Amino acid sequence: MPQAEQDRSVFRAIADPTRRAILDRLRKGPAPVNELASAFAQSRPAISKHLRILRELSVVSERRQGRERVYRLEPAELKDVADWILPYRDFWQQSLGNLKSYLEND
Amino acid sequence: MPQAEQDRSVFRAIADPTRRAILDRLRKGPAPVNELASAFAQSRPAISKHLRILRELSVVSERRQGRERVYRLEPAELKDVADWILPYRDFWQQSLGNLKSYLEND
DNA sequence: ATAATATGTAACCGAATGGATACGCATTAT
DNA sequence: ATAATGCGTATCCATTCGGTTACATATTAT
């Protein structure tokens, strides 16, 4: 039986906590690899692999500057996540509403 | 060297497309396992395993009803995802703004 | 009582994941 | 010209993942 078709969506990209931390860092502005890697206990090649995944999913872009590679956040693809989560918002707002009326009517 | 500490966050839960589809289905209302499983080509035990992961992360709850187990969406934990994605929204709104002014001023 | 139904779990398996180390290749410094 | 720096890639390895089939257990139907 064939495996489930590879899920190369941005949901996989943000499943890893290291990659989320990289993205969080890049929100403050572009950064070269060594700076990104210095924030983690892992080896630099490990960070390179994470960056590659983020690159391939277009969540970050890279531009060469001298011998450095400066990475920049490209959040457009993250919109898929925001769009997916959106309808669920109604649910926990509704739950909050239920709690509110429960507290008020009791 | 120890492996990365297990990421048992809801981000892992929604990384799998089958689990996202289960959650999407449950937005329409609670459902027993067989009904959930009938939507997929996979075996029922495979779905049971997905449900277990969602259960352990409190993204769904289960109540026994006769010999069925009815699963219900518990979206509170999904708020972590919504909270995480929120600051990125500013970025793509900003990008849209840049595009808009580019189009207008050219 | 027995059979059928609904579902979870155990055991197993191949592929993917995330890490490490070793190496190669540009680019910059000396 | 040579050394040092920055970073990607190749290879390897253990663990996790997502699937399967076989089985166990509880509930309902006959």
Going from the first residue of chain A to its last (106 residues), give the mean pLDDT of each consecutive group of 10, the final group possibly shorter. 60 98 98 98 98 98 98 96 94 69 65
Alpha carbons A8 and A55: distance in angstroms, whole number: 12
Burial class (CB in 10 A: 0-12, 13-18, 19+), A15: buried
Lookup result for tokens 């080509």: B41
Q: What is the mean pLDDT of residues B17-45?
A: 98
Interface of B with A (CB under 8 A): 4, 7, 9, 11-12, 14-18, 20, 23, 27, 42, 73, 75-76, 78-79, 81-82, 84-85, 87-89, 91-92, 95
Residue A91 is predicted with a pLDDT of 81
Q: Could you tell me if A55 and A36 are in contact, meaning their C-beta atoms sit under 8 angstroms apart?
A: no
Domain definitions of chain B by residue range: 10-76
Q: What pLDDT score was predicted for residue A35? A: 98
Task: Give the pLDDT confidence score for residue B103 in this predicted structure.
Answer: 66
Class of the CATH domain delimited by A10-77: mainly alpha
Q: What is the pLDDT of residue B96?
A: 64
Q: What is the mean pLDDT of residues B61-69?
A: 98
Which class in CATH covers the domain with range B10-76?
Answer: mainly alpha
Q: How far is the CA of A68 from the C1' of D4 (A)?
A: 14
Amino acid B6 reads: Q
Q: Is the CB of A52 under 7 A from strand D?
A: yes
Instruction: Determine what percent of chain B falls in helix, strand and coil, rounding each to the nearest 5.
Output: 60, 15, 30
Q: Rounded to an integer, what distance in angstroms lies between the CA atom of residue B104 and that of residue B51?
A: 50
Backbone angles phi, psi at B32, to 5 degrees: -80, 165
Q: Residue A98's pLDDT is what?
A: 67
Strand ranges inside B1-106, DSSP E = 31-32, 60-65, 68-73
Q: What is the pLDDT of residue B91?
A: 80
Task: Read off the pLDDT of residues A20-40 as tens digits, 9 standing for 90 and up.
Answer: 999 999 999 999 999 999 999
Strand D atom within 7 Å of B76 CB: no
Distance between CA B64 and CA B34 in Å, rounded? 13
Beta pairing, strands B60-65 & B68-73: antiparallel
Per-residue pLDDT at A46: 98
Longest dimension (CA), chain A: 68
The pair of structure tokens assigned to A5 is: 């078709």
Average pLDDT, stretch B63-78? Answer: 97
**Per-residue pLDDT for B80 more than 70?**
yes
Q: Residue B6 pLDDT more than 80?
A: no
Asked whether strand D has any atom less than 7 Å from the CB of A48, the reply is yes
